[in-house]
Structure 1
Amino acid sequence: MNLGIISDQIDLDLSKALSIIKEQGYDTVELHSVFDKPVETLTKEEAVQAKEILDSYGMKVSNLATTIFFLCPLYENDEVTLFNDAFHCIKGNVQDHLNQIENACQVAKILGCYKLRMFPFRFPENRMAPFGTQKDMETICSYFKQAADIAQQFDCELVIENCPYSHCPKGEMTLKLFKMCNHPNLKLLWDPANSYRAIQKQVEDQYLHKTLREELELIYPYIGHIHIKDYHYDASLDKPFDHKPIYSGDIDFDILFDYLKEKNYPYTISLEPEVSFEDSILCLQRLKQKF
């Protein structure tokens, strides 16, 4: 398996980030924000420039962490807003996001990558939970099939991330969506911390009973990429799920990593620490010690 990190978790400047990542003994990165814009919006010239920088540091790209279908209303009257103004992402309606996929695939090809993240749509502020209902799943699936058809034209693969801000925060929910879509160019991007952090009152009861290890065992055959971050739950905080460096929070990564080692997981485990740049370096060091 490969170990990596999303580059802008180390520094917003691509060259500076790659220099530090290489110093820590890594040769694989994932790209989200490049040149202060979402990676899926790079021009051909910008993608070539990014590739030259990557090559100068001997870096491979495991996945494009695009924001396709993140800040996108699932239904016409849904209202969605950005939780963090510093998070670079595209906006618009479903067709706008579908239109962006072709460029994203072209960027991926230039960067020597074939995987692209997409989201199960941001949950709306003006509609009552639960989200990820059967109707939601069917609607999302209809759009994901269109997206996957576009990716197929470029021999690219779309990996569906379970995201706590989306209609499918649990890995078990993205698995159901994946099976409904039944498309060869779809796989899952599993983020165990996102499953842990899911807002339970927004999720139907049937998805609330598996441990992270049980969820991993269930969805493992369909995983194409993994994100790693950590949280500590503190009920006294306004936002009780507090980001921590890995192995400083609540998640037992060893039990998950042991399973991945047993299975000879063939893809990339990619850090998405969402902590300070300094603590992200600590995460690189701690992850390296485990493999």
Structure 2
Amino acid sequence: MKLGVICDGISRDLYHAVDVMDEFDLEYAELQFVWDAEVGDHTPKQIREMDSLLRDRGKPVSCLSRHIFAGMTQNNKPGDTLHTTHMDALKRVIDMAHILDAGLVRIMTPKKEQILWGSHGAEQWNVAKGAWDAILPLIAPAIELARAERVKLVVETGNGTMVNSSYTGRRLIDDLDAKDVLGVLWDPANNCWCHEEAFPDGYMELSQGYLAHVHIKDVQVDTPRAHLEVRRMDEGQLAPYFPKIASSLRQDSYQGVISFESVYHKGDGDFEAGFRSCIDRFKAHFSS
């Protein structure tokens, strides 16, 4: 399978991150923060430098992952100041994707309302009425832009965003009629917060062509206490599911990239050391 890493999980120094990728035979580079900036905020000279480095070292760019639409709410409107800021950033990232020949561009969704749909009384007393419908016109211009620019977008299943599960990711695509240009960036660890079981539930929601990119990390969630702990790979609540996920990806001939998301450290803030303590376990599951 196609394996990669979100490079800033190793280091924001892209030269060093690529050296470490070579050390562990990781091919695909996912870019989020590079040097002193988030993707979309780099100078033309910096983008050319990235392009030269990654092409020379044989590292295709799997995804450009800016936090587009993150932090917005259902109260924002298409064309307001914040929405325009995010759309302008998306345009810059897409321009960068053309130069780097990036396979995908990530978007997020606005802040989560907890109960979006309900019945038997909940629809009257508990549902955040109109919250889901309010985000659709915020995302729709990104879909139009992607079609015009001939790029593929992926929406990440996030912890605190409207799309925080495989189900809501698939529903967003269907409600926008955007399967041609929008896929799901599945982060099963993020989905733990809403208690969606990674396999078979989360995985099967994305069958039939919805799954476009994968982030892998391990966590332990305690939703009642509002506490999240990143765990060393195979030592969190996803440990029983990794073999099943990997097996199904192989069986289904998944063609996308699986990015290791290195956000674990041992308590000392050393994320590269955390990466080194996990990467062999990641490869043991997901290498072909």
TM-score range, shorter-chain basis? Answer: 0.7 to 0.9
Structure 1 equivalent of residue 36 of structure 2? 36
Structure 2 equivalent of residue 177 of structure 1? 172
Structure 1 runs (4+) deviating above 6 angstroms are none
Query: Is the 1:227–1:269 contact (alpha carbons within 8 Å) kept by the matching residues of 2?
Result: yes
More divergent stretch after superposition (240-249 vs 222-231): 240-249
Q: How does 1:136-285 map to 2 (within 5 A)?
A: 136-183=131-178, 184-198=180-194, 212-220=199-207, 221-233=209-221, 240-251=227-238, 252-275=241-264, 276-285=271-280
Q: CA deviation at 1:173?
A: 1.0
Query: Is the 1:73–1:93 contact (alpha carbons within 8 Å) kept by the matching residues of 2?
Result: no
Q: Which runs of 5+ in 1 are unaligned?
A: 78-91, 201-207
Structure 2 equivalent of residue 80 of structure 1? none
Q: TM-score, length-normalised on structure 2?
A: 0.84
Q: CA deviation at 1:131?
A: 5.3
Residue deviations 1:212-270, cap 9 Å, x none?
3222112122011011111124689x653210122121102111111111101110011
Query: Is the 2:157–2:165 contact (alpha carbons within 8 Å) kept by the matching residues of 1?
Result: yes
SS of residue paired to 2:65: strand
Query: Is the 1:101–1:151 contact (alpha carbons within 8 Å) kept by the matching residues of 2?
Result: no
State the distance in 2 between where 1:51 and 1:76 align: 35
State the distance in 1 between where 2:75 and 2:198 align: 32
SS of residue paired to 2:106: strand
Give 1:158's aligned amino acid: L
The two structures, once aligned, show a CA RMSD in angstroms of 2.2
SS of residue paired to 2:263: coil
Q: Which runs of 5+ in 2 are unaligned?
A: 118-127, 265-270
Query: Is the 1:101–1:150 contact (alpha carbons within 8 Å) kept by the matching residues of 2?
Result: no
Structure 1 equivalent of residue 45 of structure 2? 45
| Identical-residue share of aligned pairs (%) | 22
SS of residue paired to 2:11: coil
Q: How does 1:32-181 map to 2 (within 5 A)?
A: 32-76=32-76, 93-123=82-112, 129-130=114-115, 135-181=130-176
Structure 1 equivalent of residue 121 of structure 2? none
Give 1:5's aligned amino acid: V
Matched positions, count: 263
